[in-house]
Structure 1
């Protein structure tokens, strides 16, 4: 009975813990992460609202100016001593209706500027999407390969800790010298310290990824990659035939960036907007027309007078010269800024292409069977060391070489994916399909 109660209470205690672990652990692939990111990222939501805001301004610019009405009433008739007289023979009422008519197509020109503002807001949204998606993908890969490295450290630390415990027992029996045991413990401490540094890096990546996905900070994200063993010759630029990075054309990459970089498109749209503003400023030099209708109930000319009138400013002194000059300068300045930014984009593409080319070539020259063979070798080394067929110096040398080769290979894979993502970011689209 006592054992049954202990089992029940133990099951009750562990069940919520298991549910919590299952609930707070998110195993997710890169396509799933991107889909969740697009749906739930708060920065994207806020930026997308900016498009709706500018569409509202666009709608506002379509509206006509409101008409105005003027009413005049005689408050007191000093001859008849009446207050607010309303009869026609003893009072005066005037009613005026006015409407402003914009000339020279000002309304359409203002609408064109509002539409371009909406385009610029959309450009900013898609550029933010490009930037955050780049952060998502690079953080995803970084976290994945960091976990791969942590698995190597976990394997080595587990094996080495067993060896240290075994040699501790043998040392206490006087079968092994203290210097060998000390070297093993020192190397175990080194591995543990390096593991802690990777754990800190993994924690930072976890926090960044959770923020991008709008997930709970306590969520444990486990990135899962498909086709992680794909070699560079299995990459497919834009879904075409298999090709390596070196077979990409730099001129084609420049053109791809021209077509897909929304930050560059925002500069081009700003040039368009400045030209539209120059056209509007020239139109503002044309005065607008004021149309007026007047009714005077008891006018001095005739009773119940109706009159129509028009009014217009005379462009004698102010012809909007200063604003036209300023708009002309802004148009020239925006064009020069666009040309300068285009050169910057080309430079980013060139730099990203060179980095991707270098890492791609290095990865292609690496023999992936090397690590598998090394893993089999280190197992034999561990067995021989426990049998004291090799000394502690040789054992630690092999052990360290195995760790370094595994970590460097994992880092090479990460560097390769990071460089490919940087190239994708530079051209504004995903060039590769695996």
Structure 2
């Protein structure tokens, strides 16, 4: 279970409750400041290999709407999808065009006195609704391109929301790591004072040094995660991490998701399902076009023939029509019909997949919010209280340092789980918005 490791702070707090009364009756001492002037400390060799995290570059704060505006204005993938939609309009225009007439010239004989020359215009006449079927197919393809652009916009919105949330969590992890490093420094200072007073063996200071070194490593990793998250967000508009500052956002949680029945109704208008439906429309339009091609198109001719031998002009009328003896377009018709059947089944499959993804995302959102609430309201306060009691009791000689380390580890784990559950909830919320094509973004 997700909370199996969180029972330890509660048990530890209960075990130390009796001792806390005695500790509280004692004269409380203010937390000592870190002792940086003793080069002979036990932690000097350990911390020598832990670099102090560099400060983050100073940049203007960034909010979710600002990040969204930047991404919409400069994201290459979105711009490419929009150009694709514009290009599809040219296909619609071309589908409306009728066949061009043909100008033909022929000559019989080469001698001037006996030759005859013919000049005529040939025009193909489309029958069977081929032009209308071709226009419907082009319009369906144009609709597909517009839906592709809409889907690209929804996907970009999901990426902006997700990466902005990841940056927020990385910043929170950094703040937490700084607090942990400060707590570890206080613990080390307390251990050194007790070692100097001869109340505990030097091993206690060594353990505290290891704990502080681990806290410094955690702080360095958290700083690196913030820089990486900033670069990931800025890459959506081809920017750099240097132009992304601290996130600015309200801390209000999004409203609870609606029930599955309501979400399934909304799913019918989602970009992904509309795309699958448009693919079916394209397949059917293609089938109609291939069926219209069964009817052969005649070519009519009108011209004039000059016969030098008789010395006069003659009107030439003609008509030609292909004979479907060898090619009746049966193969293309069969292929188009089966493509339509395939698109219909793919639409059903896509609907089932989206429903399953929507159900999973909703369950993840509900569960993660519940766990984050429980961790924030119950587990974290108990873990913090247990750690404070253990540290104060250690300073007064009531507990050994293993109790402090145990309480510290429980506090670290509880805080990390709290951040992870909040991140999972935000990711699930963004996934639901992507599946439904909705968002709180402007």
CA deviation digits over 1:7-33, x for unaligned, max 9?
Answer: xxxxxxxxxxxxx955xx242111221
**2-structure distance, mates of 1:132, 1:61:** 32
Kindly indicate whether the alpha-carbon contact (under 8 Å) linking 2:379 and 2:414 is maintained by their aligned counterparts in 1: no
Counterparts in 2 of 1:367 and 1:274: CA distance versus 1, 3 Å: closer
Q: What are the equivalent positions in structure 2 for 1:12-411 lying under 5 Å apart?
A: 21-22=57-58, 25-72=59-106, 76-77=110-111, 92-161=116-185, 164=188, 177-226=201-250, 228=251, 230-231=252-253, 235-236=254-255, 244-245=256-257, 248-260=258-270, 262-298=271-307, 303-366=312-375, 368=377, 371=380, 391-411=400-420
Aligned length: 386
Kindly indicate whether the alpha-carbon contact (under 8 Å) linking 1:356 and 1:423 is maintained by their aligned counterparts in 2: no
Secondary structure of the corresponding residue to residue 103 of structure 2: strand
Stretch of structure 1 that moved more, 396-405 or 412-421: 396-405
In the alignment, structure 1 segments of 5+ residues that lack a partner are 1-19, 78-84, 237-243
| Cα deviation, residue 325, structure 1 | 1.9
* Match for residue 420 of structure 1 among 415, 418, 429: 429
Stretch of structure 1 that moved more, 372-381 or 106-115: 372-381
Counterparts in 2 of 1:210 and 1:75: CA distance versus 1, 3 Å: farther
Kindly indicate whether the alpha-carbon contact (under 8 Å) linking 1:293 and 1:309 is maintained by their aligned counterparts in 2: yes
| Cα deviation, residue 365, structure 1 | 4.2
Counterparts in 2 of 1:366 and 1:383: CA distance versus 1, 3 Å: closer
CA deviation digits over 1:315-365, x for unaligned, max 9?
Answer: 344332222222222221211121122111111112212222222333444
Stretch of structure 1 that moved more, 28-37 or 42-51: 28-37
Kindly indicate whether the alpha-carbon contact (under 8 Å) linking 1:62 and 1:107 is maintained by their aligned counterparts in 2: yes
Stretch of structure 1 that moved more, 32-41 or 366-375: 366-375
Kindly indicate whether the alpha-carbon contact (under 8 Å) linking 2:109 and 2:116 is maintained by their aligned counterparts in 1: no
Counterparts in 2 of 1:418 and 1:93: CA distance versus 1, 3 Å: same
In the alignment, structure 2 segments of 5+ residues that lack a partner are 1-55
Structure 2 partner of 1:239: none
Secondary structure of the corresponding residue to residue 246 of structure 2: strand
**2-structure distance, mates of 1:178, 1:203:** 38
| Cα deviation, residue 216, structure 1 | 2.3
Kindly indicate whether the alpha-carbon contact (under 8 Å) linking 1:153 and 1:403 is maintained by their aligned counterparts in 2: no
**2-structure distance, mates of 1:300, 1:108:** 48
| Cα deviation, residue 422, structure 1 | 2.4
| Cα deviation, residue 253, structure 1 | 0.9
Let me know the Cα RMSD of the aligned residues: 3.2
Counterparts in 2 of 1:75 and 1:216: CA distance versus 1, 3 Å: farther
**2-structure distance, mates of 1:57, 1:254:** 34
| Cα deviation, residue 140, structure 1 | 1.4
**2-structure distance, mates of 1:364, 1:299:** 102
CA deviation digits over 1:81-109, x for unaligned, max 9?
Answer: xxxx6xxx676432121121211111111
Kindly indicate whether the alpha-carbon contact (under 8 Å) linking 1:286 and 1:315 is maintained by their aligned counterparts in 2: no
Secondary structure of the corresponding residue to residue 259 of structure 1: coil
| Cα deviation, residue 182, structure 1 | 0.2
* TM-score with structure 1 setting the length: 0.78
Kindly indicate whether the alpha-carbon contact (under 8 Å) linking 2:92 and 2:142 is maintained by their aligned counterparts in 1: yes
Kindly indicate whether the alpha-carbon contact (under 8 Å) linking 1:153 and 1:191 is maintained by their aligned counterparts in 2: yes
